[in-house]
A and B are shown apart, each in its own frame.
Chain A
């Protein structure tokens, strides 16, 4: 019944000063599934993602990816291992074109963390170009791919951000509120894209506020409140869980 565990978060604690941001979080992400993490503001969702990609080190506990401990590794090593994060506020390269923004992660995937040769010609990189083009096509950014990314609209930037994650075809994609601030139409388009990729078998963890998105995508949901997991299960189980309702309604006011 339980598939292969890709990401295994074990007993993770994180304190900032005296503040307990995560307490004893345990979570197993199954291969090929979409796992949503929901919870009220300040529940520790982003902290958890940051621990997973090496931006933060947990105070105690470990995160294993494919059985290997990744806590304490450099962010680029974790990325090279196959864990890729899509940022909530677009973290793009504003001085570069949209195409270049997508080619960069594709190059990272192919060349590894460092490649020595400074004289290779960009015009020989047809494979990289095609990969980038394909993803841009998927995200509907192909028409403007030679424009500078800095001047894009915020919604387009978020789609670019997603494209930058997808082009690396990671084993595990961590999405931080992929649809926040998007219009309904854009949100639906993003959901469709994510479902399409699900069929290709990429494992995803999604942090999301929008319950519409969560319930139309997730295979499994973990509910985080005040740094701890208070419920976990299939969408239907979570929907009826009184503890979750209390956390959302009681926690908000």
Chain B
């Protein structure tokens, strides 16, 4: 089978991935995560992490400023809404392209350095974007209030085509309002396309060259490659993914704020990628879903919900359990997050995907012989 030039195994992976994403509203139910707002977040941040992984996973260049592209994507999208049309298609296209443009500029400068110096350069650019968005760029970003679409915005294209919306402006895909499940499926389709592109990059000579750069950049130079344009191209691609994710944030909720450009947001995508597994195809998506899941589920618990949860226990034990668990949920979910990172990094250095592979391999080798279990890395 020649499915978009994928090997049979990859084609299967693609089909499974698409099925899992599209059916998420069903199988997420038992986990209490089957509501559209959260599912949209899974798809959006999954896309963000998948794109980030193309840079970090393949080249090893750790950017600490990718949230800037997320923010730029959001702002561009809201402006496209305001000026042209509430249709998300042009909004996402512009959001992606403008983020890509910024990625060219920031990448061109930052990639002159490697290692932590590169990380700090990207961090510096992102923090500049963030600080400026809050201060002097207020006419463009609307500062702390955040940029939103207003009823009397020009929306030239919509006016020209006679598209009229009732109520407060919301993204509208040829008449389908971008909220709830339709918005999720819009994000899901883009996510699946994004995953496909990432898969193709991983399986391309381009991807191989990027991995070789990560492995031994100097050798690449003596092998006849001009590595800088390769790195820049990877940087721009992953910046465009971030821009696209930012666009979708604004499509599902037409509001763009500067806080999503802050360094903590950049840190979050790093964590998602590492948590799932750097350089693996599926890992970043997994990491994104887990972190967003924990953020939403754990932060929603309060004390009475906990009492309900442990009500089957004898009352003294219930009190003990609630006391133990309480600091980790609700406002304290950050504590869970922090502990989770530590546990993952300490016990599963390669992230969840590698952990799973290792577990799987050990099972297998235990079945055959017991000799080699120590020799895996």
Which residues of chain A have a CB within 8 Å of any CB of chain B?
A: 53, 55, 74-76, 79-80, 85, 87, 91-96, 100, 103-105, 107-109, 111-125, 128, 164, 168
Contacts and interface: CB of A to CB of B under 8 A. Distances in A.
Given A91-B222, A104-B220, A114-B225, 12 more contacts: A74-B226, A76-B226, A79-B222, A79-B223, A80-B224, A92-B216, A95-B211, A103-B208, A107-B205, A115-B205, A121-B204, A122-B203
B212 A119 contact: no
A74 B229 CA distance: 14
Contacts of A112: 224
B204 A74 contact: no
B363 interface: no
B222 A93 contact: no
How many B residues touch the partner, as a band?
20 to 34
Contacts of A104: 208-209, 212, 220, 223
Given A74-B226, A76-B224, A92-B219, A107 B208 contact: yes
Interface string B208-242: 11011011101111111111011001000100000
A168 B224 contact: yes
A75 B222 contact: yes
A52 B222 CA distance: 11
Contacts of B29: none
B226 A113 contact: yes
9 shortest A-B CB distances, which residue pairs?
A: A79-B224, A108-B224, A93-B215, A113-B226, A118-B206, A95-B215, A121-B5, A114-B229, A91-B219
A121 B203 contact: yes
Contacts of B201: 118-119
Given A96-B212, A96-B215, A114-B229, A122 B223 contact: no
15 contacts: A53-B222, A75-B222, A79-B222, A91-B219, A95-B215, A96-B215, A100-B208, A104-B212, A107-B209, A114-B226, A115-B206, A118-B201, A123-B5, A123-B203, A168-B223
Given A94-B215, A122-B208, A74 B221 contact: yes
Contact of A116 (B203, B211, B222, B233): B233
B208 A105 contact: no
A84 to B, nearest CB: 8
B140 to A, nearest CB: 32
A120 B205 contact: yes
Given A53-B222, A113-B225, A113-B226, A118 B204 contact: yes
B205 A91 contact: no
A113 B224 CA distance: 6
Contacts of B205: 107, 111, 115, 120, 122, 125, 128
Nearest to B202: A122
B114 interface: no
B346 to A, nearest CB: 23
B230 A114 contact: yes
B7 interface: yes
Contacts of B5: 121, 123-124
Contacts of A80: 224
Nearest to A148: B377
Contact of A76 (B203, B216, B221): B221
Contacts of A123: 5, 7, 203
Contacts of A75: 221-222
B214 A95 contact: yes
